[in-house]
Amino acid sequence: MSELRGRLFVGGALAPGRVEFANGRITSIDLELGARDANELPIVAPGFVDLHIHGFGGSDPLDDLAGMATALARVGTTAFQPTLFPSEPSRLGAACEHVWSAATELGRAPTARVVGLHLEGPFVNPLRAGALPPGDLATPSKEGLRAILGPATGSGRGVKTMTLACELQGANELVAELVRSNVRVSLGHSQATAAEARAAARAGASGATHLFNAMGPIHHREIGLAGFALAKTALFAEIIGDLVHVGADAFELALAARGPEGLCLVSDALQGAGTGCERFESHGREHVVHSGTAYYPAAKSGGAEQLAGSAMSQHAMVQRLVERGVVSIEDALTMASASPARALGLERELGALGPGLRADFVVLDARTLALCDVWVGGERVAR
């Protein structure tokens, strides 16, 4: 039996106490209300869950999933969805099979756990491609979807989430097909109207991919997908926390509209994240990094750089959001752990501190929120 003491993040609040765990699971939680000097105790919170991440620590899912999982565990992300860029459906299906096979072969060492794959396309709107390569997008079709997902029998190819644009012709048929296949549908890279988003939600869509980014703006006569994700509780909304992809005011608007329980903090990180590199290559394109955000270099002299993914971990985003007064530590921890676990239907497994849940923890300094320790499945991660 092992234990950790500190201010435990339980039920959305911090309280001094002790968590005991054995055989990879939490066995008991004991709160010590009224403890002296409680604010000086380290914070013990659930490990972070990243729904949308393309790479980390110099590795990406296709080339070195194990390296990516190891690097993520060291920065407090203990469960994640490796996120693949779009490509022609049969090639994307083969890539899924390759990555999922690597996921099932991850060793016993305490590395971040793969909780399914996230496909960012290919059935998205070319007019809202953003940083995705437009030439790799595809028209929605059941044949294309089947080429990606593979045979309906067996363990499949591990696809847990697919981002699509519901306004495209044939997309709503795919929403129903994906739901039947136990794949989460997240609406994104889209210029859907609110009515189109509502129809997709009724068909089973349950997520919004990186809220505000690569979707139409909110207008007072047409709130669009972004407005629907804010106004209704049908969709868990991903939100990138570098305060560049989404500015502080818009972040506060999203939090006021949905609360931390409706928002999932995602890194949308690329493989150069966590390396400290100011330049790196990913998916055949050069990226430059400014203050934790990745850009494509300007195409011509004097031109503007194009916003791409991030170069930050979830933990670094939690620190930034709290330090700049955008969110409280409690809200940041909820968005990084409990909300994404609920979005995946894994709240009885991940994202909280409670008996029977996985012993995945982050231990943070009480004052600076610096990462002191990480535990995955009850094992301490070497850092």
Task: Provide the annotated active-site residues.
Answer: 268
Q: Tell me 190's DSSP state.
A: B
- The count of other CB atoms within 10 Å of the CB of residue 256 is 9
Q: Is 382 exposed, middle or buried (0-12, 13-18, 19+ CB in 10 A)?
A: exposed
CA distance 215 to 263: 17
| Maximum alpha-carbon separation in the chain | 63
Strand 263-266 relative to strand 236-240, pairing? parallel
Please state, in angstroms and rounded to a whole number, the distance separating the CA atoms of residues 53 and 134: 20
Contacts of 299 (CB under 8 A, 6+ apart): none
* CB-based contact 5:40 (threshold 8 Å): no
Angle at 253 between CA 79 and CA 319, to 5 degrees: 45
Nearest in space to 155 (alpha carbons), one of 99, 98, 100: 100
The CA distance from 263 to 335, in Å, is 6
Between β-strands 43-46 and 159-164, what pairing exists: parallel, antiparallel or unpaired?
unpaired
Residue 318's nearest CA partner among 330, 302, 300 is 330
Q: In degrees to the nearest 10, what's the CA dihedral of 177, 234, 120, 305? A: 150
Rounded to whole angstroms, the Cα distance separating 163 from 227 reads 18
